Amino acid sequence: MVRWEPDTRERLREAALDLYTAKGYADTTVAEIAASVGVTERTFFRHFADKREVLFNGSDVLQEQFVDGVASAPAGTAFEIVMHAVLSAVTFFPEERRPYSRRRQAMIVANPELMERELNKMAGLVAALGAALRERGVVEPEATLAAESAVTVFRLAFEEWVAPSSTRTLAEIEQSLFAALRSLAR
Amino acid sequence: MVRWEPDTRERLREAALDLYTAKGYADTTVAEIAASVGVTERTFFRHFADKREVLFNGSDVLQEQFVDGVASAPAGTAFEIVMHAVLSAVTFFPEERRPYSRRRQAMIVANPELMERELNKMAGLVAALGAALRERGVVEPEATLAAESAVTVFRLAFEEWVAPSSTRTLAEIEQSLFAALRSLAR
């Protein structure tokens, strides 16, 4: 389980988001981000490849959790396996992370360059989930369809979770979307 | 019904794709495309806003067909309505269009700038389908989930249709993907 710890990495993340919000993403430098938490640029680059990656670095961990969730799911249909994977990844988004996630999402939606990276990460998530399902013996096109459906549910649930007035937990939103998807296709 | 006619617009499309393939997308100018079919640049710009749009201009017509397909579908579940919409739009992709579509797809996959536009068009398709479903009284989250599922099926079917060894028609591929999606969620 991955926990949300306010270490140097997290402080850099927060500081970057503060600066992107205040000065604009394009006008913020790595030097400014590093200086604002009292570390060197070199330390920044030990944690992140560039100033775009500072917002996306967590996606690899999230992807791993999705893939692990497929591997550890009890025997079931492809749909049940991806449901298990998506729901087991909610530990990555505890309630105390919601304010950060809200600000991050607003930043991404407002910057085409960031949005493009976000869409690529989602496509990567679909590919990784599809591969993990095939690993478990799910054939095509079921593996890809289940992976696409899972990422759609995750994406829509996440959008609702970061919406200003939202109060339900991510797991609650995901469960209701999976249920709606099931009854839709019936 | 929109038919595939080799008029000036189509000749410009073909010529652009020929040049993008031969010289590379970045190194091709609008002047060259226009000259190669014996028209002026001004004529080019009467048909297309820019050299990127020459590959995407048809998407508006496709989106209209999706939306019309939702409006004209017989009474049914949200899933049945979007199935009807996606299947009624196959008239946009007759067999004689497959060679062009194959070349266009290869070009898009190879150019991040074009891929970004493609992803935006797909997101636009989801939004338009969702709105058309709500217009017919489908509530949320069912409208968005059905729209997302429909575009996923269309996108995966199209990818298979333009694959080098593919022989099934687009409608056949779409029908088998919808059937797989239904049995998956059961």
Domain identity same for A22 and A79: no
What CATH number has the domain bearing residue A164?
Answer: 1.10.357.10
Domain identity same for B16 and B87: no
Q: Give the pLDDT of residue A66.
A: 97
The nearest CA of chain A is from the CA of B5 a distance in Å of: 33
What CATH number has the domain bearing residue A42?
Answer: 1.10.10.60
* Per-position DSSP letters for A15-80, written without gaps between them: HHHHHHHHH-STT--HHHHHHHTT--HHHHHHH-SSTTGGGTTHHHHHHHHHHHHHHHSPS--HHH
Domain identity same for A106 and A164: yes
Domain identity same for B139 and B64: yes
Q: Give the pLDDT of residue B119.
A: 86
Domain identity same for B48 and B88: no
Q: Give the pLDDT of residue A28.
A: 95
Domain identity same for A37 and A66: no
Domain identity same for A3 and A76: no
Q: Give the pLDDT of residue A6.
A: 55
Question: Which of A79, A116, A141 shows the shortest C-beta gap to B185?
Answer: A79
Domain identity same for A49 and A71: no
pTM: 0.87
Angle of CA points A143, A149, A152, to nearest 5°: 140
Q: Give the pLDDT of residue B90.
A: 95
The ipTM value here is 0.84
Task: Please enumerate residues of B whose Cβ is less than 8 A from a Cβ of A.
Answer: 77-79, 112, 116, 119, 141-142, 144-146, 148-149, 152, 156, 176-177, 180-182, 184-186
CB contact (8 A) between residue B152 and residue A145 = yes
CB contact (8 A) between residue A148 and residue B145 = no
Check pLDDT > 70 for residue B1.
no
Taking only the tens place, the pLDDT of each residue in B38-58 is 999 999 999 999 998 899 878
Three-state DSSP class for B114?
A: helix
Q: Give the pLDDT of residue A91.
A: 93
CB contact (8 A) between residue A181 and residue B185 = yes
- Residue B83 in tokens: 């199935």
Question: Cα-flanking dihedrals φ and ψ of residue A163, to 5°?
Answer: -65, 145
Check pLDDT > 70 for residue B4.
no
The chain A residue lying nearest B184, using CA atoms, is A79
Domain identity same for A170 and A142: yes
Domain identity same for B35 and B92: no
Q: What is the pLDDT along chain A (186 residues), one digit of tens a residue?
A: 444 445 888 899 999 999 999 999 999 999 999 999 999 999 999 999 999 889 987 888 899 999 999 999 999 999 999 999 999 999 999 999 999 999 999 999 998 888 888 888 899 999 999 999 999 999 999 999 999 999 999 999 999 999 998 999 999 999 999 999 999 987
Domain identity same for B78 and B138: yes
Asked whether the beta carbons of A65 and A129 are under 8 A apart, the reply is no
The nearest CA of chain B is from the CA of A77 a distance in Å of: 7
Check pLDDT > 50 for residue B85.
yes
**Number of domains into which chain A is organized:** 2
Domain identity same for A32 and A73: no
Q: Give the pLDDT of residue B182.
A: 93
Residue numbers of the domain that contains A27: 1-54
